[in-house]
Amino acid sequence: MIDGLQRLGRSTLGWLNRLGRATLFLLRLLGALGALVRRPGLIIKQLYSVGVLSLPIIAMSGLFVGMVLGLQGYANLVDFGATSSLGTVVALSLVRELGPVLAALLYAARAGSAVTAEIGLMKATEQLAAMQMMAVDPFARVFAPRFVAGFIAMPLLAGIFTAIGILGGYFVAVYQLGVDSGAFWSQMQAAVGLVDDVINGVVIKSVAFGWVANWIAVFEGYDAIPTSEGISLATTRTVVNTALVVLALDFVLTAIFFGV
Amino acid sequence: MSAASSSPSDTPAEPLLVTVRGLSFRRGDRIIFQNVDLDIPRGKVTAIMGPSGAGKTTLLRLIGGQIRPNAGRIEVDGACVHELGRKDLYQLRKRMSMLFQSGALFTDLTVFENVAFPLREHTRLPEHLIRTLVLMKLEAVGLRGARDLMPSELSGGMARRAALARAIALDPMMILYDEPFSGQDPITMGVLIKLIRTLNDALGLTSIIVSHDVKETASIADYIYLISDGLIVDHGPPDALENSSSAWVEQFLHALPDGPMSFHYPAPAYAQDLALEEEPSRD
């Protein structure tokens, strides 16, 4: 019993210690953002790496999720003769929840883990130490560009995921299930609000998820034990912690924006 | 030369670039340095030698300001490195370079871009001038033809030479070499030895070489410090150390398996560990 309490106390203190270090890291990261204004090329290079290279998985996943939503939505709506509302169901599901959440989870798996592994390896191979010895701050040169690029890319990827998802739902609904094309789009247009659904849903959520996903990815790389096992653990932690934080944050944001 | 002393009082009376006084450093409970004094003269090649785990690389990191001592003072060109703020420390580092054991080349950049990296970061030179400077540095280490190769395409020796070209890109006043010869074949080792000495003399550098490759390091060093167990065991010019009467120096310089330095890491009695002997009574 006492041992269990001690272990719980130790792990809680360890977790708090890590959270404190991550917060200090974030503050230093934010302090280094000013240097990026003069060097947009660093962000653009990383945008390609975390954004453009994530497009295939985001587009393919969005397409399949939208198609599944079309099939599932039709199967339920057809009983009530409400198949013309399929566009609304697909769009609201994607815009409010699935678009930002799934895009964030896929982003963490594709780009977040890569950022962690890259920074962890730079640490293990003394590239970060070499940079410091050359009087170049890794916060300004390595961490901040990756963080900012990811923060920019995340909402764009969530938007692309959502748009392709809606198209996937449309193709299934109209060409496979025979739903009227005009009804699909007009019902969607009437039901989906710009502020209530798009801004509060995909925009704000993906901005928030982009912040935490990239904070976690960059910090885990920086904090990785510079060994093969340490980098492997850090990469895993990036994916697991991002998934947990994104899902918890999604609940909080949903309660704020869509809670009754 | 002084026997088993941590005082550098008898070092040659030359202008000093680095002075270390009363340095103490520990990692957890393990003492790495204990009240160490050390002087590095300007314009010379100074070697710091000792067995693996003696704290040689740690000493370089302390001099470079990457870690802070628990006690003592480390001055580089008159500035106390561990008392400097980040901005001043970075200003000082622009005048020093470090050659890492692994080379630490940036793996996403070509050899050319690696050498150009410090120039692009710290100067606003036009591109054609950067190109000229980079090619000059690469020519000095014999890698002008390898400018377009990626670090993964280089052999270990080439990677170290490319890193050396990067280290001299900004014409530093001092270069810290961390085990520059380890894992190199004899030819590459010979090339590196010649390069380090030539660059030091031609560019008027101060070089600090941390190594346990005795013969190679001694062949180019002007002065040698031998460290072990957190202390400077001996120091002096290579030929003076060669004739040292110290049993430790004798063991280290001539790679003798037996001597004051034990082969075994401290451990309980072997028989006791194998349970061949009864443990002492606790009454």
Rounded distance, CA B31 to CA B22, Å? 14
Residue B178 to chain A, least CA–CA distance (Å): 12
Q: pLDDT per residue over B74-88, tens digit each?
A: 999 989 998 898 889
The A-side interface with B (CB below 8 A) comprises 121, 125-127, 129-130, 132-137, 141
pLDDT (mean) for A245-257: 94
A133:B98 CB<8 A: yes
List the structure tokens of B255.
């790679």
Give the best residue of A134, A142, A227 to mutate against chain B (max B CB count within 10 A): A134
A127:B96 CB<8 A: no
B90 touches chain A (CB under 8 A): yes
Assess whether pLDDT exceeds 80 at residue A43.
yes
Residue A123's closest chain B neighbor by CA? B104
pLDDT of residue B156: 84
Q: Which of A141, A117, A23, A95 is nearest to A254 (CA)?
A: A95
Handedness of CA B126, B127, B128, B133 (dihedral sign): positive
Q: Are B228 and B50 in contact (CB under 8 A)?
A: yes
A136:B104 CB<8 A: no
pLDDT (mean) for B267-273: 83
Determine whether A92 is exposed, middle or buried from the number of CB atoms within 10 Å of its CB (0-12, 13-18, 19+): buried
pLDDT (mean) for B51-70: 87
List the structure tokens of A151.
């923060």
Residue among B98, B104, B121 whose CB faces A136 most closely: B121
B101:A132 CB<8 A: no
Q: Which ipTM score applies to this complex?
A: 0.81
Task: Report CA Rg, chain A.
Answer: 21
Which stretches of B123-227 are DSSP H helices? Answer: 127-140, 156-167, 186-203, 214-220
B182 touches chain A (CB under 8 A): no
- Quickly state the pLDDT bin for B1 (edges 50, 70, 90): very low
pLDDT of residue B281: 55
A129:B100 CB<8 A: yes
Which stretches of B34-126 are DSSP H helices? Answer: 56-63, 86-93, 111-122
A-B CB pairs within 8 A amount to 46
Residue A140 to chain B, least CA–CA distance (Å): 11
Rounded distance, CA A121 to CA A113, Å? 12
Assess whether pLDDT exceeds 70 at residue B234.
yes
Delimit the domains of chain A by residue range: 41-254
Fill in the DSSP letter of residue B177: E
Rounded distance, CA B214 to CA B237, Å? 13
- Quickly state the pLDDT bin for B135 (edges 50, 70, 90): very high
SS3 for chain A is CHHHHHHHHHHHHHHHHHHHHHHHHHHHHHHCHHHHHHCHHHHHHHHHHHHHHHHHHHHHHHHHHHHHHHHHHHHHHHHHCCHHHHHHHHHHHHHHHHHHHHHHHHHHHHHHHHHHHHHHHHHHCCHHHHHHHCCCCHHHHHHHHHHHHHHHHHHHHHHHHHHHHHHHHHHHHHHHCCCCHHHHHHHHHHHCCHHHHHHHHHHHHHHHHHHHHHHHHHHHHHHCCCCHHHHHHHHHHHHHHHHHHHHHHHHHHHHHHHCC
Assess whether pLDDT exceeds 70 at residue B279.
no
Q: pLDDT per residue over A85-133, tens digit each?
A: 899 999 999 999 999 999 999 999 999 999 999 999 999 999 999 999 9
Contacts of B272 (CB under 8 A, 6+ apart): B279
Residue B64's closest chain A neighbor by CA? A133
Assess whether pLDDT exceeds 60 at residue A192.
yes
pLDDT of residue B188: 79
Assess whether pLDDT exceeds 60 at residue B11.
no
Q: Please give the helix or strand (H or E) that residue B35 lies within, else none.
A: strand B30-41
Q: pTM for the full model?
A: 0.85
B97:A141 CB<8 A: no
